[in-house]
Amino acid sequence: MLLSRHLSWKNSMRTAIVATIVALTPALTAPAAQAAAPPDIPLANVKAHLSQLQSIANANGGTRAHGRPGYLASANYVRSQLDAAGYTTTLQSFTYNGATGYNVIADWPGGDPDDVLMVGAHLDSVTAGPGINDNGSGSAAILETALAVSRQALQPAKHLRFAWWGAEELGLRGSQFYVNNLPSAERARIKGYLNFDMVGSPNAGYFVYDGDNSDGTGSGPGPAGSAQIERTIQDYFTSIGVPTRGTDFDGRSDYGPFIAVGIPAGGTFTGAEGIKTAAQATLWGGTSGQAFDPCYHRSCDTTANINDTALDRNADAIAYAVWTLATAVPPVTVYADTFETATGWTVNPAGTDTATLGQWERGDPEATTSSGAKQLGTTVSGTNDLVTGRLAGSSAGAYDIDGGVTSIQSPPITLPSASTLSLSFSWYLAHGSNASSADYLRVRVVGSTTATVFTQAGAAANRNGAWATASASLSAFAGQTVHILVDAADASGASLVEAGIDNVTITR
Ligand code: PHI
Ligand code: ZN
Ligand code: CA
């Protein structure tokens, strides 16, 4: 009650402010519908959904697992809330393990049908318990976000679709069924997928899916666009002063089938059976040496197994990400090079390079290994990339960088004026333990001034080659004709150093 009065006060203030601006600027026509600010999701509402899921489990043998009556009751609960809020819902059924499973799919009417943002969570529990943190938490948080979309009558640029998946605990069965059965034209319309699986862990961590593989561990980066989703979620946590860490983008939840078909994805996670380290307890509080969720997959995963602060922060992060991503105008590509054909990049443009071997070239790279992957034989797109000496040769050190710096420069790129511009590219730097901190991979932008937009320094340690993505703002160069200048060095004594670049893109 208090909350709705508060919201309507905010809305009337907003109307008053807009009216004032219009009155002061009579020459302007009324602005197009403004994207409303992301709402503060009421924790009490999210917890009320968790109580309902707990009651459903209690009435159905203590579980909401696939094939048990508590699952269908959960699906019906979620669906009835969405129907009442104006969503178009479908109950998609599938068979797994001789039992019928269900996905609840809810479409918010409107938005660009060719630019769909999906938001999902698995609704099933394991048979051992009611599954309130895993994954009543994600299910309730996205449900309340969907209801907030309705309360605000949001009219996003994108079409919004929410999903509650069945049988995740048996191997991502519901989400895999959904993706498998999407006609290819429908699949191509989905431009992003946000996943929330366990967002109220009692001994919580604040993890964001590592879609750009900036951690350089485990699986590689997700499809292009995953990095932007990761940044958007990180922006929210930064705004509330909560530090985050990456969690490997390994497909261990329902985003797996989406990234497998090239749909960018992202999400948050507060931890499962993993043990909180002392450093993580210093960062976030809680108990080191104990699991993030000691009741993971157990009967004690009840409404008592929820950290309210973590759930509240994650629900607000979900709303922030949905509002930000769904109302964003899709970026327009200003420049893109996947290095499949020659487009005029110049090696050693200043004539000052010192490297004697392993100079940059465009080509189909051969793989090398030495204590792990060094030069990557894979590219991010197609068969070619920019690579420091594409041949493998007879040993890992045969065509690596030697003797100093090698550089390569793009053709001139004319950037539109008065626009917000961003550069993104895929990269890796690999080196042996004989490398040093004087070695590097660097990307600069040369216009009327020169800016270093990316540097990865070497180290006297083994670093395996692994594709990652990076991005930087180029807005300071709007209206200029610029070159992108990439250089890499094996400085300070000969060592094994390899680098690669792919998919250089500038968007407005
Ligand atoms: N999908 C697992 C737990 C899990 C959630 C693992 C999120 C990784 C991530 I990221 C389960 O439902 O048990
Ligand atoms: Zn789960
Ligand atoms: Ca990774």
Q: What is the pLDDT of residues 384-412, one digit of tens each?
A: 999 999 999 999 999 999 999 999 999 99
Per-residue DSSP letter, 215: T
Q: Please list, in sequence order, all residues whose beta carbon lies within 8 angstroms of the beta carbon of residue 133, skipping any fewer than 6 positions away.
A: 198, 200, 201, 202, 293, 295, 296, 301, 305, 306
Which helix (H) or strand (E) is 176 found in, with range? helix 173-180
Q: Whose CA is nearest to atom 7 of ligand 1?
A: 197
CA atoms within 13 A on the CB side of 364: 2
Q: Let me know: does 192 contact 263? Beta carbons within 8 Å.
A: yes
Binding pocket residue ranges, ligand 1, CB within 6 Å: 134-135, 168-169, 197-198, 247, 252-253, 269, 272
Q: Let me know: does 347 contact 359? Beta carbons within 8 Å.
A: yes
* pLDDT above 70 for 458: yes
pLDDT band, residue 12 (cuts 50/70/90): very low
Atom of ligand 1 nearest to the CA of 296: 13
What Rg, from alpha-carbon coordinates, does the chain have? Answer: 25
Output the CA 120–ligand 1 centroid distance in Å. 13
What order of strands is seen across the sheet that includes strand 158-165? 88-96, 99-108, 158-165, 112-122, 190-196, 265-269, 207-209, 245-247
| pLDDT tens string 242-272 | 999 999 999 999 999 999 999 999 999 999 9
Whose tokens are 């594709």? That residue is 467
* pLDDT above 60 for 67: yes
In Å, how far from its chain's centre is CA 395? 37
Can you tell me the mean pLDDT for 279-295? 98
In Å, how far from its chain's centre is CA 233? 8
The overall longest dimension of the chain from CA atoms, in Å, is: 77
CA distance 229 to 406: 33
* pLDDT above 50 for 28: no
Name which of 105-109, 330-334, 458-462 the model is least confident about. 330-334
Atom of ligand 1 nearest to the CA of 267: 10
* pLDDT above 70 for 191: yes
Can you tell me the mean pLDDT for 2-26? 36
Atom of ligand 1 nearest to the CA of 297: 13
Please give the sequence-ordered ranges of beta strands (E in DSSP) within 330-396, or none if there are none: 333-337, 346-347, 360-363, 385-388
First to last CA, the chain: 43
Identify the nearest ligand to the CA of 271 by its number.
1
Output the CA 296–ligand 1 centroid distance in Å. 10
- Mean per-residue pLDDT over the chain, rounded: 92
Output the CA 17–ligand 2 centroid distance in Å. 44
Instruction: Please tell me the predicted confidence (pLDDT) of residue 44.
Output: 98
CA distance 100 to 123: 14
Output the CA 265–ligand 3 centroid distance in Å. 14
The residues whose Cβ lies within 5 A of ligand 2, an ion, are 134-135, 197
Identify the nearest ligand to the CA of 466 by its number.
3
Q: Let me know: does 474 contact 445? Beta carbons within 8 Å.
A: yes
Output the CA 466–ligand 3 centroid distance in Å. 9
Output the CA 457–ligand 3 centroid distance in Å. 19
Higher pLDDT, 4 or 52: 52
Q: 166 vs 64, 101, 133, CA distance in Å? A: 10, 6, 16
Amino acid present at 59: A
CA distance 482 to 331: 20
Nearest one of 133, 129, 150, 152 to 141, comparing CA atoms: 133
Q: Whose CA is nearest to atom 6 of ligand 1?
A: 252
Amino acid present at 154: L
Catalytic-role residue among 168, 169, 230, 361: 168
Q: Whose CA is nearest to atom 8 of ligand 1?
A: 252
Instruction: Please tell me the predicted confidence (pLDDT) of residue 17.
Output: 36
CA distance 170 to 185: 28
Please give the sequence-ordered ranges of beta strands (E in DSSP) within 207-348, or none if there are none: 207-209, 245-247, 265-269, 333-337, 346-347
Identify the nearest ligand to the CA of 121 by its number.
2
Name residue 245's beta-bridge partners: 207
Identify the nearest ligand to the CA of 210 by its number.
3
Which helix (H) or strand (E) is 230 found in, with range? helix 226-239
pLDDT band, residue 168 (cuts 50/70/90): very high
Amino acid present at 5: R
Phi, psi of 80 (to 5 degrees): -65, -35
Ligand 1 pocket: which of 253, 293, 297 to mutate (most atoms <8 Å of CB)? 253
CA distance 246 to 231: 11
Amino acid present at 274: G
pLDDT band, residue 36 (cuts 50/70/90): confident
Amino acid present at 246: G
Can you tell me the mean pLDDT for 155-183? 98
pLDDT band, residue 429 (cuts 50/70/90): very high
Report cis status (omega within 30 of 0) of the bond before 135. Answer: yes
Q: Please list, in sequence order, all residues whose beta carbon lies within 8 angstroms of the beta carbon of residue 192, skipping any fewer than 6 positions away.
A: 117, 118, 225, 229, 263, 264, 265, 266, 325
Ligand 1 pocket: which of 132, 197, 233 to mutate (most atoms <8 Å of CB)? 197
Ligand 1 pocket: which of 134, 207, 210, 226 to mutate (most atoms <8 Å of CB)? 134
Domains in the chain and their CATH numbers?
A: 43-327 (3.40.630.10), 333-507 (2.60.120.200)
* pLDDT above 70 for 50: yes
* pLDDT above 70 for 334: yes
Per-residue DSSP letter, 495: -
Can you tell me the mean pLDDT for 469-476? 92
Name which of 99-108, 258-267, 311-320, 328-337 the model is least confident about. 328-337
Instruction: Please tell me the predicted confidence (pLDDT) of residue 420.
Output: 83
Output the CA 272–ligand 1 centroid distance in Å. 7
Q: Whose CA is nearest to atom 1 of ligand 1?
A: 253
Instruction: Please tell me the predicted confidence (pLDDT) of residue 30.
Output: 32
Tokens representing 90 are 């479908």
Q: What pTM did the predictor assign?
A: 0.73
Nearest one of 192, 173, 148 to 38, comparing CA atoms: 148
Instruction: Please tell me the predicted confidence (pLDDT) of residue 358.
Output: 97
CA distance 24 to 5: 29
Output the CA 218–ligand 3 centroid distance in Å. 4
Q: Whose CA is nearest to atom 2 of ligand 1?
A: 253
Can you tell me the mean pLDDT for 61-77? 98
Instruction: Please tell me the predicted confidence (pLDDT) of residue 19.
Output: 35
Q: Please list, in sequence order, all residues whose beta carbon lies within 8 angstroms of the beta carbon of residue 507, skipping any fewer than 6 positions away.
A: 331, 332, 333, 334, 421, 422, 424
Can you tell me the mean pLDDT for 132-160? 98
Identify the nearest ligand to the CA of 254 by its number.
1
Tokens representing 34 are 């403004």
Instruction: Please tell me the predicted confidence (pLDDT) of residue 35.
Output: 59
Say whether 340 is catalytic. Answer: no
Instruction: Please tell me the predicted confidence (pLDDT) of residue 8.
Output: 35
Q: Whose CA is nearest to atom 10 of ligand 1?
A: 269
Q: 47 vs 58, 123, 312, CA distance in Å? A: 16, 15, 9
b or e along 9-33 (b: 16 or more beta carbons within 10 Å of the residue's beta carbon)?
A: eeeeeeeeeeeeeeeeeeeeeeeee
CA distance 298 to 286: 20
